Amino acid sequence: MSPQYSMPSKEEKIQFFQSLSKVYSQDDDDEELDLDLDLPVPTNGLSTSSESAASSGAGSTVGKKRLHEESPADLEQRKVAKVEKPKKTAGPTTSSTRTAQSGSNNDETDSDDDVVFMKSKPVSRPAPKETKSDSKVPSSLVSSSSTRSRGNAKRPDAPERRSTMPATGLVDTTNIPRATEIRHNKKRERMIFDGISFYYIPNDTKNPVRRKRIARLQELGAVWADDLNERGKTTIVSYIFVDKKHSWDMMISYLKGRKIPDAAIVVNEEYSGHCIEFGRIVQPIPKRFLVSKPQTEADSLSNIPSLVPAKSNPTDHNVSPYSLKIKPKKPKQPPQPESQIPDADEQAETPPDDPPPKFEIFKPVEVSKPVDTKKDALSDMIVKSKRIADASMFIEPESDEEEVSKGEPAFSKTSMPGGSKIFKFEQHFLCNKGPQKQSKDCPNARTIEMLEKLLEYYELTGDQWRPIAYRKAIAALKRQKEKVCTSKEAKKISGIGQRIADKIEEIVETNELRRLDYAMDDPNYETLSLFLKIYGCGLQQAKVWISQGHRTIDDLLKHAKLSKHQRIGIEHLDDFDTRIPREEVKEHGEVVRSVLREMDSDLSMEIMGSYRRGKADCGDIDIMVTHPTATANELHKVLEDLLERLFESGFLKADMTSSRRMGGMTMHGASQLRPGMPWRRLDILMVPNECVGAALLYFTGDDIFNRSIRLLARKKGLKLNQNGLWKGRQTDANSKVITEGTRVVSGPDEKAIFDYLGVEWREPHERIYH
């Protein structure tokens, strides 16, 4: 991008910095998404713009009418207009209060109204054209037009630092290299709902989720009808969406005698999201989407089969929401869309995630009567183990019943009732065998994909815990056999809380996630991700480089100060970033093995890491070397010897653990099978016999599993590390270690550790939570 490079002057830095900040528009919660470059920037020159929810007056009254009457273009215009108002008054004057609290992101309840779209980039965007029903998709750009000023969520040490650009700031700083905006225009969306009109029950936007759905329908071309049948106009409602909280009877009473147009199809609210996911209007799957008058109770029960969310429980009084039957009289297709719904077509291509048929294979019906029943058997133990077992890990992976959650094995010693019951479906979630299959097999693949993107983003954020929470949530979602559609369902899953549950629902409903758009929009997103791929470069380093103006690998090579690791990391960035086929991992292992054999026939070796977990491809190669009798010291020498030999043979290309201390037992380096082949990250760990069990555990992972089982150990007053399982460790008030304690389990038996901890044995391939 920038032909010539020079270190930025101080002033340039400031400008650059200003240009980094953005003003987000955010609707559903106001947490901070901040790739906050924690730089020593003088705050004086920078103003803080108070975005303010000044416009908050817009209550629910605004909702419907506006949404209803305005074309998308109008909408957009309105938003722009609104934005500018606060802008004028927003001077350098303070706002500390506002911004400060926005950083603490507490509630998410308030913000979800019309205020929503308001905050927008100060830069004047070309106002949308008047073109009414143009083929363009103006409103879909809404979210991408946003920017916002950000506070610093955590980081007490840097409380007020937030840069903001004065209204003109962004524009004027165009001379700054790459800090300018990189707007990814949102991909154009097809107006799949063009020509249809719909009515909602209830027909308002009081519920945020409903509001989103309605907005989304409109964005994609649908017209929101004021009434079921607008007499004056020609509009005839083609779809009626029924909020799931409404039963058929409620709906009827809501309509107060108004008749449902013959042409109208009555569907539940999830139908729109389903269509969006397909990119066109699809025929509603009867049991899943069509809403109809319930029949006799017995009847409707038998009819509930799999598909629908668990909550429709027989015992669960009639709330029975969308688990309603097909409308008695078969609804006709609505006029317009009809042509677009070739039946054959629908049949032909199988929906990417059409749960019902697919998953019946596993467990057709179980969904409906989950929870309560299962508790009793375990309850006893659960009471005790509940607080000990970390939620996520010690439950069946399948967790099938959504109740799922915790409890369970952990304390096998005493009771083992639940243990054996459900363990058959491993293959299902062991979808890692086929690289690309995986995503297809999982009913929640789409959701997971989106959440993973968000996870990636949060990793760039420097938040230590959120990414972990996301990974646990994603892992939990992966275990679900049924598609999780609503936040309520999602919330029941252990590891998924309210915030992520809401996001799941948003994804399912709208097939997109606003938060993600904002995230991707950050001008530093790409640079940061790029730099973070470099071995030896973490977040802090990446930020420093960015603050120094570096944006490309080339910049770094030419002008940045690089550590030895980083230099290697950069030189082989692509190599290290490429997955290694299982076969090749094995080959690397064989090279090491053969050298070891030359050295001492008692030395043995095992390939660990994701290879041992059975993955088809690995990020690196992990090798554990053991010897039945060698002491640590001897092993250290073996390692030195081994490395020397590997170097000589040309196999080992780099050792990034070079200044290994005496007694060092690890090597982090790179190896290459043959000239011309990529370098691979190679880790070698020497393990004395008494530590082998623990080392197996550690080196097999995955990391979530490790964290979890270590936490469990700790909750039981033990300590698990790669050298063994320990007890009797004493700490003083300051948690300083007084006594190290003694090793409870040692030796090469991995299972012994599981046993001692009361954790049911899991094969390596069952330890995948990633």
Partner DNA sequence: GGGCGGTACTG
Partner DNA sequence: CAGTACC
Partner DNA sequence: GCCC
Region 113-142 residues binding DNA, contact defined as CB under 7 A: none
CB of 117 to DNA, least distance (A): 19
Decide whether 114 or 702 has the Cβ nearer to DNA: 702
Pick the catalytic residue: 358, 503, 615, 719? 503
Residue 407 identity (one-letter amino acid): G
Q: Is 386 in the site for DNA (CB under 7 A)?
A: yes
CB of 611 to DNA, least distance (A): 9
Angle at 256 between CA 255 and CA 259, to 5 degrees: 60
Cα–Cα distances in angstroms (integers) from residue 10 to residues 13, 40, 81, 231, 612, in the given order: 5, 11, 36, 67, 51
7-20: string of b/e by CB count within 10 Å (b at 16+)?
A: ebeeebbbbbbbbb
CB of 213 to DNA, least distance (A): 21
Decide whether 224 or 394 has the Cβ nearer to DNA: 394
Instruction: Rule CB under 7 A: choose which of 37, 281, 484, 537 binds DNA.
Output: 537
Instruction: Rule CB under 7 A: choose which of 469, 616, 673, 752 binds DNA.
Output: 469
Residues 722 to 741 in contact with DNA, rule: CB under 7 A: 722-723
Q: Is 542 in the site for DNA (CB under 7 A)?
A: yes
Cα–Cα distances in angstroms (integers) from residue 321 to residues 248, 409, 602, in the given order: 8, 35, 66
Residues 402 to 431 in contact with DNA, rule: CB under 7 A: 406
Structural contact between residues 433 and 765, judged by C-beta atoms closer than 8 angstroms: no
Decide whether 128 or 467 has the Cβ nearer to DNA: 467
Q: Cis before residue 314, ω within 30 degrees of 0?
A: no
415 vs 380: CA distance, rounded Å: 9
User: How distant is the alpha carbon of residue 200 from its chain centre?
Assistant: 30
388 vs 411: CA distance, rounded Å: 9
The one segment of 49-57, 231-239, 338-346, 490-498 that binds DNA by CB under 7 A: 490-498
685 vs 5: CA distance, rounded Å: 43
The one segment of 53-61, 68-76, 386-394, 599-607 that binds DNA by CB under 7 A: 386-394
Q: Is 608 in the site for DNA (CB under 7 A)?
A: yes
CB of 421 to DNA, least distance (A): 21
At residue 517, the 3 state secondary structure works out as: helix
Residues 27 to 56 in contact with DNA, rule: CB under 7 A: 29, 31
Active-site annotation holds for 259: no
Structural contact between residues 111 and 26, judged by C-beta atoms closer than 8 angstroms: yes
580 membership: H or E segment, kind and range: strand 580-581
The one segment of 51-59, 345-353, 588-596, 618-626 that binds DNA by CB under 7 A: 618-626
Q: Is 681 in the site for DNA (CB under 7 A)?
A: yes
Decide whether 214 or 694 has the Cβ nearer to DNA: 694
Residues 346 to 385 in contact with DNA, rule: CB under 7 A: none
Residues 551 to 590 in contact with DNA, rule: CB under 7 A: 563-565, 569
267 vs 299: CA distance, rounded Å: 20
Instruction: Rule CB under 7 A: choose which of 53, 137, 501, 592 binds DNA.
Output: 501
Q: What is the DSSP string of 217-274?
A: HHHTT-EE-SSSB-SSS--B--EEEE-TT--HHHHHHHHTTPPPPTT-EEEETHHHHH
Q: Is 24 in the site for DNA (CB under 7 A)?
A: no
CB of 661 to DNA, least distance (A): 5
CB of 371 to DNA, least distance (A): 15
Q: Is 535 in the site for DNA (CB under 7 A)?
A: yes
Q: Is 534 in the site for DNA (CB under 7 A)?
A: yes
Look at residues 585, 589, 609, 582 and name the one whose alpha carbon lies nearest to residue 435. Answer: 582
CB of 38 to DNA, least distance (A): 8
Number of residues that bind DNA (CB under 7 A): 73
Q: Is 703 in the site for DNA (CB under 7 A)?
A: yes
What pairing do the DSSP bridges indicate for beta strands 652-655 and 666-671? antiparallel
Look at residues 565, 560, 478, 494 and name the one whose alpha carbon lies nearest to residue 527. Answer: 560
Residues 89 to 118 in contact with DNA, rule: CB under 7 A: 105
- Looking at the annotation, which residues are catalytic? 503
